[in-house]
Each structure stands twice: as structure tokens, then as C-alpha cells.
Amino acid sequence: MLSSKQEGILLTTGLNRDRRRILPITEIEHSAFCKTEDELPSKPLVEEFNVNIRWQQIPVEYLHLTADELDIRIGEARAKLGDEVIILGHHYQREEVIKYADLQGDSYLLSKYAASHSQSKYIVFCGVHFMAETARTLCSDSQQVILPNITAGCSMADMAPTEDVLDAWDDLKQILDEDESIVPITYMNSTAEIKALCGRNNGIVCTSSNAAAVMRWAFERGRRILFMPDQHLGRNTGIALGIGLDEMIVWNPFKPLGGHTPEEIRNSKIILWQGHCSVHTRFTVRQINSARERHPGINVIVHPECTMETVQAADINGSTETIIKSINESAPGSKWAVGTEISLVNRLAKNNPDKTIFCLDPVVCPCSTMYRIHPAYLSWVLDRLVEGEVVNEIKVSSETKKYANIALQRMLEVTSASN
């Protein structure tokens, strides 16, 4: 029986292990919300159910509520709950959800914020599953973390399931001698179990803003790195540190030894897990060239989860916070073509009316799993809290929490030392 994280298309392979290739269903469904318009307004949930993706079923009374009706219900519930609840909104959330957030930011910033507000019993995380897990890992046991739509996963995180990563780690430890040490690094966009694996094995977590500092830390402790789950962030960071492409290999979990010989593994400095972001891999060099032809003097800024070719063709690459800061602090009249999630791009354009800001991709594709946090789901979980019932609580085992915290604490120390 497959878990909800493992649902998807199953492809048989010729592996010596009894394993089936699983393409995360979130990856298959990504194009479901793609549009050519610049706006992605929310509809009553019953209309969004017509899109052929997985939605969590909730009481029928929420399906037909309009935006105005939901606004009233959410406001009433929040007033009753007061300081007992904090609503967190990731930058990629749709505008109709982010307006309710007490704080908006990236996943780690939001998790730290929740942990620092221990007086709030309930943390409603408007994001995706791994983000809620990170909040659960950092928050106290007296707090409860809630994900409004339990089907809001992350295709990138799902590309590194625990079983596959454990198998790869066992293979690598068998091949490499003690003097050929390897340090595991996992991107924040991964499950709590993968973070815990890093914590147990002298590894660490990174974000897109501190990946270079974390890699330097790892190379002080080992000859090579296993970087998970986003190959593009790992490759782009390695290149920035002067590591050649011939020193990096991509680990395909569906092939014996990741598709490599023991010698190739020993000769590598960075082993990149074969994962990617469905949103950021849509941005291309062709789109950048088109933007420059149409808008002379345009600034092109992209996220480092984009492919190497796209990152190298851009003027600037950086984390979500870097993108926001660069555009917000730019001169009036400046022009920006942005390679990141459309909800954030639209928000930046709205907040900077004196600048030209648009998404590189002419086909507008929001993050399909972020987009599953519809205001109706937020209204539902808040109404249940008012009635004393916690739904969609995210839990992490005490052992997983312990070791994931170790990996996160190492990241904090590295970040503090590099600032």
C-alpha cells in the first residue's frame, strides 16, 4: 500500500532492488493551474475542484462560499481565537490567503517566528507539508501545527523519499573508505526525516541564501558532499564555489549506485540528488533573451533552483528574500524580469507600481501545491479550532525531531559565523 506521499505514476525498472519508480503526483499535476493571464483570482472552492488534481474533502458548506463570505467567516473565527492562533503565510501563497497572515516569509523564517511565540497554541501554516514539519520540529510540544489542506505537499521534497535516500546512503558508505568521507546536506525543502538523517550523520540543512556557506562548512569536514534534493541549487552553488562540472555527478535513485561506477563516485566532490522544483525549472535562457529583446535595459533576476544555464544567463540569482530585497530597493522606473513563483511576482508588481515587473514565463504557473491552500480550507480549520477540534495537525516523532533539530542547529551556527 503506497503512502499519500508515494502516490503517482509507477514505472517498472531493471533494478536489483524490488522498487518501482514513483513520479510524485504533485509533479504530474503542476500544469493544472497554468494560465496565460497575469492574475489568478480565487474562485469558490467548488469551481477549483473542477481542476483535475487532488483536493482534500471538507464539509460541503465551504465549497460554495464566495470570497466575501469567507472573509467574514475567517475574521469572526480569528476574533474568537485571539492570540491562541498564529497564521503564517509563505511568499508563494495566493493573495487571497496571504492577506490573513500574521507574518509572510520563507519557510524557515516563519518556523522560527512560530517557535518564538510560544504563547500561541495553534500555528496555522499556509504553505506546504515540509514547511509545517519544520515548524513542528522547532516549536514547543505545547504548540500544535496545522496545515489547512493536507494534500499541499511539495514535489521536490517527494523526490527524496526516506527509503531511497537511506538506500543511497548505505551504498555510499559501503563504497567510500573512512578517508573518503562524505557529508550529507539537505535543502530546507525536504522532509523532517531527511533532515534527521543529516543530523544523525554529521550533516546539515541549508537554505537557498546560505547554501554556499553550508557547503564550505561541509568541505572542511569531508572530501565530498551528498546534496539533496534539488540538483540545480546544489550545482549552481558548487559552481559559485569553483567546483567543476566534472567533479559533480547526479544520483539517480532508480539506477544501481545512482547510475555510476564506484570509481566515478570516488572521483566526485558533489553528489547531486536527482530532484528539482517544478516551478523554477520552467524558466529558460530563451525567455531571458526574449525579455531583453522586448525590454532593453531589463534586469533579469532568478532563483538558484533554476537550471544552470538560466542562472548563468541572468543578471542576478538569489533566494526569495534576495529577489524581494533587490526589487523593492531598486530605483523607480527600473525594469525587472523575474524567474520565480507567479504569486510573489504579482505581489512585487503590485507593491512597486513605479517599476516594470513581470514573470519571465509567459505561461503563468503558480506552485500547484501552494495553490491548494484556498481560503475555504483556512476558514474550515479556524472554525474547527473555535469548536475545540484540531484538524490536519502535523506531527513529527520525537526521535526525528531530535536529529532534525541537530541539523538545523548546525545551519544556524554556520549562518551566524558567516555573517
Q: Within 10 A of 179 (CB to CB), how many other CB atoms are there?
A: 6
40 and 146 in a single domain? The answer is yes
168 and 256 in a single domain? The answer is yes
300 and 376 in a single domain? The answer is no
178 and 268 in a single domain? The answer is yes
Angle 230-345-126 (CA atoms, 0-180°, nearest 5)?
65
Closest Cα to residue 162, out of 12, 3, 50?
3
Q: Is residue 1 part of a domain?
A: no
Q: Is residue 8 part of a domain?
A: no
| Maximum separation of any 2 CA atoms in the chain, in Å | 64
CATH of the domain at 299: 3.40.50.10800
Host domain of residue 166: 157-278+400-418
307 and 373 in a single domain? The answer is no
Closest Cα to residue 270, out of 218, 206, 200, 213?
218
| Mean pLDDT calculated for residue range 398-411 | 96
- As a dihedral over the C-alpha atoms of residue 250, residue 24, residue 125, residue 64, rounded to 10 degrees, the angle is 150
Q: Can you give the pTM of this predicted structure?
A: 0.86
Q: Is residue 19 part of a domain?
A: no
Q: Is residue 322 part of a domain?
A: yes
336 and 198 in a single domain? The answer is no
pLDDT in tens, 219-276: 999 999 999 999 999 999 999 999 999 999 999 999 999 999 999 999 999 999 999 9
Q: Which pairing describes strands 299-302 and 335-339: parallel, antiparallel, or unpaired?
A: parallel
Query: What 8-state DSSP symbol labels residue 331?
Result: P
- As a dihedral over the C-alpha atoms of residue 253, residue 191, residue 405, residue 307, rounded to 10 degrees, the angle is 70
413 and 269 in a single domain? The answer is yes
Cα distances (angstroms) measured from residue 54 to each of 26, 145, 150, 343, 345: 9, 22, 10, 21, 26
Beta bridge partners of 338: 301, 359
Q: DSSP string covering 6-44, please?
A: G-EEEEE---SSS-EEEEEHHHHTGGGG-BSSS------
pLDDT in tens, 101-132: 999 988 788 888 888 888 899 999 999 999 99
179 and 216 in a single domain? The answer is yes
Q: Is residue 27 part of a domain?
A: no
In the three-class reduction of DSSP (H, G, I as helix; E, B as strand; rest coil), residue 299 is classed as strand
- Residues 11/20, Cβ–Cβ less than 8 Å: yes
Give the model's pLDDT for residue 82. 95
pLDDT in tens, 118-173: 889 999 999 999 999 999 999 999 999 999 999 888 889 999 999 999 999 999 99
149 and 164 in a single domain? The answer is no
Q: Is residue 320 part of a domain?
A: yes
**Domains contained in the chain, number:** 3
142 and 77 in a single domain? The answer is yes
As to burial, measured by CB atoms within 10 angstroms (0-12 exposed, 13-18 middle, 19+ buried), residue 51 is: middle
Give the model's pLDDT for residue 111. 85
252 and 303 in a single domain? The answer is no
Q: Is residue 80 part of a domain?
A: yes
Q: Is residue 96 part of a domain?
A: yes
- Residues 370/95, Cβ–Cβ less than 8 Å: no
272 and 410 in a single domain? The answer is yes
The dihedrals phi and psi of 29, each to the nearest 5 degrees, come to -85, -5
The C-alpha cell of 193 is what?
526525516
